[in-house]
Structure 1
Amino acid sequence: MSFKIAAESFPVTPLEVVVREYDEDRDKAGVEELEGRCEIGQRGKPSMVTDLLGDPICRVRNLPLRVMLVAEYGEKGEIVGVIRGCIKTVTNGKKTSNGIPSYEKLAYILGLRVSTIHRRLGIATKLVQHLEQWCTQKGANFAYMATECTNEASINLFVKKCNYLKFRTPAMLVQPVHAHYKPLGSGIAIVRVPPQLAELIYRRVFANSELFPKDIDQILRNKLNLGTFMAIPKSSLSHWDPKGGVLPYSYAILSVWNTKEVFKLQVKGVSKLTYACCAGSRVLDNLMPWLSIPSIPNFFRKFGVYFLFGLHMEGKGASRLMKSLCAFAHNMASDDDGCGAVVAEVGQRDPVREAIPHWRKFSWAEDLWCIKKLAPAKQEANGEGCEPLDWIKSQSSSSVIFVDPRDL
């Protein structure tokens, strides 16, 4: 990371808070301690603790243009806040006059944490403002973030204080991983798609979607991507030639991202009765797997998740194909010790939503995404860029949102 923030950009305030770029040798221990103290959830209710693996910047390490800022307080330079950000080029759901996808340079804000005893001092606002400054310097036209619709503190910060607008509300669908395998549909074949072919398919089917990354090839070749898989009728195998680039008449496709190598989750704060009921479901599932009891994994110890992305289906019986493909991904996760759930996030009106198996109790129908215009977009010779206000205020012409697995 060659970008350096000038000292005069972040003057000491009356609160003695200084925001600067993360330095691994100096800040690693302090950031890890801060992350360990911050829980996701509402007071008085079960909370989700995130345990980052490796260095604290690992959540954005897979993106070429990224930064992490820390806020330090007092003479001892205690780390009291942290924020991460990255920039990528994505589609905006529109096309240029030449008929090719229109792209925007977009910043994504994630991993904002402030020490509980240092909140309500303006530290979070300061972190967001300085991250936006960095994003603008790097040429981003927009910045966006994601939060739960019930997270009032986050919504107040970004919408009321930082002038973000509510943008999209995709659905987060969670399927717990059971001890038993899920059956695949009869007459359905699961085929592994090589990265080069997967890239061609994705660029074709997601050309009109929102937030499809221009560097999809880098995602598909990342070591965290466990592969791209396609479900097709077995009757299509004999006459389908994947090398020819022609898609089957009916198919479903998705890729699997292994987030358990980046972070793990843990649920805390549940009652003893809830804990006992969950443990009992696992015991019965292990003793009598033929009953296919929908057991609840041990979410009370650290667990990882598989994230499904690039979900798309077409043709007759496509919904059944997608369900079998999701079952295949579940079985992959079942073979991976410590993987507790399979997760997918899709647009509200995306046709694949109804075909993705999930538990409503663990899922949420609306994950709030907020966006802000940082600078006017510039129309480039290659067709990138469009009028920023159109993208923010207008309804998308596509029902599909491509969720980048690197954003998790």
Structure 2
Amino acid sequence: MKMEEVQGVRVREYNKEKDREAVEEMESRCELGLQGKPSISTDLMGDPTCRIRHSPSYTMMVAEYGEEKEIVGVIRGCIKTVTRGKKTMTSCPIYAKVAYILGLRVLPTYRRLGIGRMLVEKLEEWCKKEGAQYAYMATDCTNEASINLFTLKCAYVKFRSPTVLVQPVHAHSKPIGPGITIVRLALQLAESIYRQVFTNSEFFPEDINVILSKKLNLGTFMALPKGTLQKWDPKSGNLPPCFAILSVWNSKEVFKLQVKGVSALKYALCVGSRILDAWMPWLRIPSIPDVFRPFGVYSLYGLHMEGGKGASRLMKSLCAFAHNMASDDPGCGALVAEVGRMDPVREAVPHWRRFSWIEDLWCMKKLSTVEDEDETCGVPNWITSRPSSSVIFFDPRDF
């Protein structure tokens, strides 16, 4: 295929009635190109917009080629208002309207023709019209093709490198630490605590109340030392001296994942671990769930702890509680949490290193050409300045 043939490509917004089947076919062809290598396949369960439609504002665009209007590429984007840290002289957070770009796919036979860049630029135009000041994307730090497209051709810069922690869901339940009480928080109390503890963080969503009220949110839970609950008065606005908190998002109802391309030996070892666990449950073997069939995940977000070493123990018990919730839900194969690399909570979250990755690279670009009001008041440029906090809030709608 010659480079000039890209002139026959047109980028437009996704039409649910007309494009759904064609998009599903196109994305399945993209995954076929990964055969022979271990990979994770995503089943969007008949809704290509499932990963963005829970956001305040979103769109999906397709690239079609030729007279037959074959769909050869897709891209998705959503916009939200989030914190970018705090003002230097006050404790008030600074908010920014940010676009998140995800789900960029181009058919293998149409790559290196500029279609990916066309999709990104067209989506950026929509983001600017919606008032987004910044746009960012996330990718594995080893995905050179995606990184080069955004950084070398689309003027994005490497911004943050959070850590993704994954824990398989086992058949047996995990014990909650002795002397620990776990309570479910009412929506308004959960919102109040989150706005208090994440005020200095980055990417904390302004509409946290909307997230917490969604059906996909399975609850916000707090772990406390026994006896603390009776002494703590939530109405006072003060937090307990030692606690851990997190929320659980049911991504299982949004999409399913499936591991493909592993060797026969690895497959046999995984199956064997489940058989042994079923035969001898008293050994509590950390078996690997059946990830070779479509499985769902629970996303853990809003993870925070206070109170020194005791808080770490509380967070581990809280994660065990979430694991037990997931083990009672058929088809849920893993828990996923994304946190800042330097966030203290990272060391307290149970995970398997083999399934987790240290760097989930985020690249960002400033879309607005007008100088921000905050910058005129002496607030440093968000992209080029050092982060004001080690904490990055992971929005479960973005997973």
TM-score when normalising by structure 2: 0.95
1:350 corresponds to 2:339: no
| 1:388–1:159 CA distance, 2 compared to 1 (3 A) | farther
| 1:17–1:384 CA distance, 2 compared to 1 (3 A) | same
Native 8 Å contact 1:102 1:384 kept in 2? no
- 2:106 aligns with 114
Q: Which runs of no fewer than 5 residues in structure 2 stay unpaired?
A: none
1:202 corresponds to 2:194: yes
- 1:333 aligns with 326
- 1:403 aligns with 394
Out of 235, 252, 267, the position equivalent to 2:227 is: 235
Letter in 1 for 2:382: W
Out of 242, 251, 272, the position equivalent to 2:264 is: 272
- 1:5 aligns with none
- 1:3 aligns with none
Letter in 2 for 1:405: P
Structure 2 Cα separation of the partners of residues 252 and 359 of structure 1: 21
- 1:391 aligns with 382
Any residues of structure 2 matched to 1:278-289 within 5 Å, and which?
Answer: 278-289=270-281
Native 8 Å contact 1:264 1:302 kept in 2? yes
- 1:15 aligns with 7
- 2:144 aligns with 152
Out of 263, 266, 289, the position equivalent to 1:297 is: 289
Letter in 2 for 1:181: S
Structure 2 Cα separation of the partners of residues 218 and 315 of structure 1: 29
1:258 corresponds to 2:250: yes
Out of 179, 194, 211, the position equivalent to 1:219 is: 211
Q: Which runs of no fewer than 5 residues in structure 1 stay unpaired?
A: 1-11
- 1:6 aligns with none
Among all aligned residue pairs of Structure 1 and Structure 2, give the percentage whose two residues are the same amino acid.
68
Deviation at 1:203, TM superposition (A): 0.3
Deviation at 1:394, TM superposition (A): 1.4
- 1:8 aligns with none
Deviation at 1:378, TM superposition (A): 5.9
Q: Report SS of the residue matched to 1:59.
A: coil
| 1:352–1:175 CA distance, 2 compared to 1 (3 A) | same
TM-score when normalising by structure 1: 0.93
Q: Which piece of structure 1 moves more, 37-46 or 243-252? A: 37-46
Structure 2 Cα separation of the partners of residues 340 and 65 of structure 1: 30
> Which digits, 9 at most, give the CA deviation of each residue in 1:223-258, with x for residues without a partner?
111100000011212222334433211100000011
Native 8 Å contact 2:35 2:261 kept in 1? no
> Which digits, 9 at most, give the CA deviation of each residue in 1:237-282, with x for residues without a partner?
2222334433211100000011111111101111111111000000
Q: Which piece of structure 1 moves more, 35-44 or 81-90? A: 35-44
- 2:115 aligns with 123
Native 8 Å contact 1:106 1:140 kept in 2? yes
- 1:4 aligns with none
Question: CA RMSD of the aligned region, Å?
Answer: 2.0
Structure 2 Cα separation of the partners of residues 226 and 385 of structure 1: 42
Q: Report SS of the residue matched to 2:49.
A: helix
Native 8 Å contact 2:80 2:99 kept in 1? yes
Letter in 2 for 1:56: P
Native 8 Å contact 1:93 1:397 kept in 2? yes
Structure 1 Cα separation of the partners of residues 44 and 378 of structure 2: 38
Deviation at 1:390, TM superposition (A): 1.7
| 1:236–1:134 CA distance, 2 compared to 1 (3 A) | same
Out of 364, 367, 376, the position equivalent to 1:374 is: 367
| 1:174–1:402 CA distance, 2 compared to 1 (3 A) | same
1:27 corresponds to 2:10: no
| 1:185–1:107 CA distance, 2 compared to 1 (3 A) | same
Q: Report SS of the residue matched to 2:67.
A: coil
